[in-house]
Amino acid sequence: MESGVVATILEYLNAGLVDEFSITLSPVLFGAGTRLFDGVDGSRIALEQVRSQPSPRVTHLTCTVHRR
């Protein structure tokens, strides 16, 4: 993910504008990724995983966002 995309996602999360989101995780053997949740303000929001659907190649996660 591009850093601008990550910055936009973090801005929306920290502003309380996201109720729920789904992400697809795929393991990477070589290369690097962007850490999506490093900038989440844990004092303002909490993430709760509500669903997980594994498959041989990816894992689908659904999380809800709660204000603190």
HEC string for the chain: CCHHHHHHHHHHHHCCCCCEEEEEECCCCCCCCCCCCCCCCCCCEEEEEEEEEECCCCEEEEEEEEEC
**Given this model, what pLDDT does residue 14 score?**
86
Q: For residue 1, name the pLDDT band (cuts at 50, 70, 90).
A: low
Residue 34 pLDDT exceeds 70: no
**Given this model, what pLDDT does residue 60 score?**
94
Average pLDDT of the chain to the nearest whole number: 85
**Given this model, what pLDDT does residue 18 score?**
92
Global pTM reads 0.70
